[in-house]
Amino acid sequence: MKKLNKMLRELLVCLVTVICLGTNFSTVANATEVEAPADEQAATEARPAAQAVATTAEGSSAAIVEVQDYTIEGGMIEAGKEITVNLTLHNTSSSVNASSTMMTLSNSTGSLYPAYGKSNQIYVGNISAGNTKVVSVPMTIGSNFAGDAIDLTCRFDYASQNARLTNTAMIVIPISGGNTIGVKSINVSSHAIVNGKSLLTFSYVNQSSSNITDAKLSIEGNVSSASKEISLDTVYAGKAYTQDFYVTFKEPGNQAIKVTLQYTDVDGEVTVTDLGTFDVTVSKQNVEEENNSQISFVVSLIGKIVAMAIIIFAAAVMYVYIKKKVF
C-alpha cells in the first residue's frame, strides 16, 4: 500500500508539471506587445523657423499623393494681390511610385485663380515612393476677396501599379490673425491612420511688443482628448515660429476637424480666430498590423489546444496506470 501511495504521488507531480508546461506554452503564444494609449501618443515638436518644413507622416502601402506642406511668396493674403504658392507634394507610400501625376487647382469661391497666362492644370510627373516634389504656382487673389482665409483644392490624377488613381487635398491659407498673433500658414495632412500620428503644421508670428503666454490651438472633431487642445507655450514678442503637432484620430472614415486659435491679446481681450475646417481620410490599421493580429490569434488558439491535449493525455495515462496497479 505504501508503494502504491508513493507511485500515486510521483504521478501527481508529473501531471502538475505537464499542466504547467502546457499553460506556459499557451500564455507565451498569446502574448502581445503593449502600446501606450492613443491619447498619450499625441506629441509636439517646436521649431523656431520662419518657414514650415513638415516631417514625414505615417507611411502607407498604396500610392497616395498629398500636400505635405506649403509656403507663400509675396506676403500676406490681400485682395488683388499676386502671390506664389509653393506646394510640397508627398507620396505617402513606402514602396509604390506615383507616375504621370497631373494636378488641378480650384477655389470654392472663385477668389483665387492662376496668374494671367497660367493654367489651373499642372503636370507634376513622377513622385517616387516616400519622396516629395515642390511645385510653385503663380496665383492671383480676386479684387473682391474678403474673409479670414482662402481655400485651395488640389486634385491629383496619377498612375500607380497599372491603375489610374485620384486623390483630393485642400489647404486653407489664413490672413493675419489679429493685431497680436499673425497667422502665416496652417496645414493638416489629408490622410491619417486610426490611432496613428497625423501631421498638423502651424506657422505664426507675434506682431506685438508683448509676450503671449496662453496661446493655444483648439481642435473640434473625432480626435483623441490629448489632441483637442494644443498649447503653443510662450509666444515671444516679435518672434516667428513654425511648430509641428500630431493629431490622433479615433475612428476610420472621412473625418472633418475645425481648428481655432485662442489667446489673450495685449489689451487683455480674448481673441479667437477660425483657422478653417479640414477634411481628413482616416484609414484602419495597416495590413501588416492586421496580419500580425491574426497570426497572434491563431498561435494563441493552437497553444490552448496543445495544452488541453497534453492535460487530457496525462489524465488518461494516469487512469490506465492506476487501473492496472489497483485492479
More confident of the two residues 230 and 10: 230
Determine the pLDDT at residue 326: 59
Return the CATH superfamily for domain 38-285: Immunoglobulins (2.60.40.10)
Q: Which phi and psi angles does 159 have, rounded to 5°? A: -105, 140
Determine the pLDDT at residue 316: 72
Query: If you average pLDDT over each of 191-195, 212-216, 302-306, which comes out highest?
Result: 212-216
**DSSP string covering 246-261:** EE-BSS-EEEEEEEEE
| Identity of the amino acid at 205 | V
Q: Which of 72, 90, 70 is nearest to 81 (CA)?
A: 72
Helix or strand holding residue 49 (H, E): none
pLDDT (tens digit, 9 = 90+) per residue, 126-166?
999 999 999 999 999 998 888 777 889 999 999 998 899 99
- d(Cα 287, Cα 106) in Å, to the nearest integer? 34
Determine the pLDDT at residue 47: 36
Q: Which phi and psi angles does 317 have, rounded to 5°? A: -60, -45
Query: If you average pLDDT over each of 35-39, 154-158, 210-214, 263-267, which comes out highest?
Result: 154-158
* Least confident span in 51-60, 74-83, 95-104, 229-238: 51-60
What number is the average pLDDT over the span 214-241? 91
- For 56, other C-beta atoms within 10 Å of its C-beta total 12
Residue 41 banded pLDDT, cuts 50, 70, 90 = very low
- For 302, other C-beta atoms within 10 Å of its C-beta total 13
pLDDT (tens digit, 9 = 90+) per residue, 156-183?
999 998 899 999 888 887 775 445 788 8
Four-residue CA torsion sign, 273, 219, 109, 207: positive
What number is the average pLDDT over the span 240-258? 90
What number is the average pLDDT over the span 258-275? 88
Residue 7 banded pLDDT, cuts 50, 70, 90 = low
Strands 253-264 vs 216-220: parallel, antiparallel or unpaired: antiparallel
pLDDT (tens digit, 9 = 90+) per residue, 71-80?
887 666 778 8
Q: What is the 3-state secondary structure (H, E, C) of 148-202?
A: CEEEEEEEEEEEECCEEEEEEEEEEEECCCCCCEEEEEEEECCEEECCCCEEEEE
Would the pTM of this model clear 0.75, i.e. be above it? no
Distance from CA of residue 181 to its chain's centroid? 27
Determine the pLDDT at residue 48: 34
pLDDT (tens digit, 9 = 90+) per residue, 286-306?
545 555 566 777 777 787 887
